[in-house]
Amino acid sequence: MQKLLSDLKYNQVAKVIKLNEGCQGFERFRLLDLGVVPGTEIRLALDNPLNDPIGYWIRGAVIALRKEQSNKIFVEIFDE
C-alpha cells in the first residue's frame, strides 16, 4: 500500500516507490542526489520533538528532511 514517507514510524522500513509529480527542479534533483530513488530502503533514524526536520537512514547516511519534503516521497512501508 502506497503511503508518504512522513507516515513512517519507528521499527518500520520503507521502500521508495516514486516522487510526487509536483516535486520538480532543484528540489527533485537534490532528493535524487541524496539517493531517494525508486527501490531505495529508508528507515527512521532521528526523531525531532517538533517533527521537523526528521533524520532518515538513506543508503548508509542519515539525511534530514523537512516534512514538506517527506510529503513528496511515496513509499511502501513494511513492519519489522
Rounded CA-CA distance 66/46 in Å is 12
Q: What pLDDT is attached to residue 80?
A: 55
Inter-CA distances, 15 with 8, 25, 47, 62, Å: 11, 23, 19, 16
Any idea which architecture 2-79 has in CATH? Roll (2.30)
Domain ranges, ordered by start, for the chain? 2-79
Q: Which pTM was predicted?
A: 0.87
Q: What is the pLDDT of residues 21-74, one digit of tens each?
A: 888 999 999 999 999 999 999 999 887 777 789 899 999 999 999 999 999 999
Residue 42, strand partner residues: 14, 58
Rounded CA-CA distance 3/47 in Å is 19
